[in-house]
């Protein structure tokens, strides 16, 4: 497999050096693997910290900035960051108002963030934690106990980040983040396997002419494999899987997300099909975001995330945001 890298061992460090060069508004600690808003901390404001394995860009480092995360901790490819990174990030963004950890439900992330909570609190930082577990495809997987955390992570970080930007106290920011997660569901589809730099080849076997319904963002198995389907057929299957579980009674936020190798030409066409299904199911769409946001290296495929949103969540979603990967209202 051809990859635009030097050697597998330095791929994350090289990417962080490039990020630092492109975004002077961020402080990128390459050695300690922490990305922080250069203007953090803000007196009286909660700091949001998240992180996870690299390979899901722009999640999480691309979401550091005004109205979203105060800091992010990138691990090695598909590997959780370590507690020291999280503690360092919390200390860097704590203004005295506390820090909220946003954690995707993967075993390594959960264990390391739990340890980081204890260490940070020992250093006098008030910490709250929210677990994101929105994937309806499977209950348990190779990486998790319970549902996996996927596309709803973006909704949680954006909406809770807006609340923090407004100066909401830690308890309020945490409650909003939990409400967003509880109101969100996702379903992913893989058309091809992803390739990690260390392996240099596909991480799982997906024969030509087949797709994986319900795939995880590390290539974990989903519900079933089928012969290749049309965009229309995939939209019917994925949206129905989400709606069966979510059963929304109010308008939704919609994320049509690419897995890393799916061009926007295909994603916008798929978005049209998702809107068709939602209209047929009489589910109004309040806002739509289309693009590669929660990815799996070079996997071809897509995911659908819906978040049932009331007026407060919509207001916070619309609030200004200025990060490398998400920007509006500024």
Tens digits of per-residue pLDDT, 98-138? 999 999 999 999 999 999 999 999 999 999 999 999 999 98
Mean pLDDT of 149-175: 98
Mean pLDDT of 154-164: 98
Mean pLDDT of 53-66: 98
- Is 218 noted as a catalytic residue in this protein? yes
Predicted pLDDT at 99: 98
Q: Which letter, b or e, does each residue of 27-66 get, where b requires 16 or more Cβ atoms within 10 Å of its Cβ?
A: bbbeeebbbbbeebbbeebbbbbbbbbbbbbbbbbbbbbb
**Pairing, β 71-77 against β 47-54:** parallel
- Is 23 noted as a catalytic residue in this protein? no
Average pLDDT, rounded, for the chain: 96
C-alpha span between 220 and 228 (Å, rounded): 18
- Closest residue by Cα to residue 291 from 270, 310, 273, 264: 264
- Does the pTM surpass 0.85? The reply is yes
Instruction: Collect all residues with Cβ–Cβ distance below 8 Å to 10 and sequence separation of at least 6.
Output: none
Q: Report the percentage of the chain scoring pLDDT > 70.
A: 99
Instruction: Collect all residues with Cβ–Cβ distance below 8 Å to 250 and sequence separation of at least 6.
Output: 308, 309, 310
Annotated catalytic residue, options 23, 60, 218, 275: 218
Mean pLDDT of 18-25: 98
Tell the residue number behind the tokens 């949206």, with chain if given.
239
Residue predicted with more confidence, 329 or 220: 329
Residue predicted with more confidence, 201 or 143: 201
- In this structure, of 13-17, 58-62, 157-161, 220-224, the range with the lowest mean pLDDT score is 220-224
């Amino acid at each position: 497999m051809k990859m635009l890298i030097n050697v597998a061992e330095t791929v994350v460090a090289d990417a962080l050096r490039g990020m630092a060069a492109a975004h002077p508004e961020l402080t990128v600690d390459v050695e300690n693997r922490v990305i922080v808003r250069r203007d953090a901390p803000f007196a009286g404001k909660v700091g949001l910290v998240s992180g996870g394995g690299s390979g899901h860009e722009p999640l999480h480092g691309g979401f550091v900035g005004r109205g979203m995360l105060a800091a992010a901790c990138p691990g090695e490819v598909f590997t959780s960051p370590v507690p020291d990174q999280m503690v360092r990030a919390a200390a860097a963004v704590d203004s005295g108002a506390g820090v909220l950890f946003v954690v995707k439900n993967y075993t390594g992330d959960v264990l390391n963030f739990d340890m980081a909570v204890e260490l940070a609190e020992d250093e006098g930082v008030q910490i709250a934690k929210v677990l994101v577990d929105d994937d309806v495809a499977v209950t348990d997987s190779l990486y998790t106990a319970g549902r996996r955390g996927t596309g709803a992570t973006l909704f949680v970080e954006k909406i809770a980040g807006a609340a923090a930007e407004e100066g909401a106290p830690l308890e309020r920011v945490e409650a909003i983040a939990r409400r967003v997660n509880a109101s969100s569901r996702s379903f992913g589809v893989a058309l091809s396997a992803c390739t990690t730099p260390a392996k240099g080849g596909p991480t799982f076997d997906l024969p030509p002419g087949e797709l994986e319904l319900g795939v995880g963002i590390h290539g974990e198995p989903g519900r079933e494999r089928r012969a290749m389907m049309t965009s229309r057929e995939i939209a019917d299957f994925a949206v129905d899987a989400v709606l069966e579980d979510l059963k929304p009674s109010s308008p939704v936020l919609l994320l049509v997300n690419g897995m890393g190798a799916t061009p926007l030409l295909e994603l916008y066409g798929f978005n049209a099909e998702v809107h068709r299904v939602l209209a047929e199911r009489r589910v109004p769409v309040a806002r739509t975001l289309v693009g590669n946001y929660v990815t799996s290296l070079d996997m071809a495929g897509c995911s659908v995330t819906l978040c049932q949103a009331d007026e407060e969540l919509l207001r916070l979603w619309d609030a200004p945001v200025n990060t490398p990967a998400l920007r509006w209202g500024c």
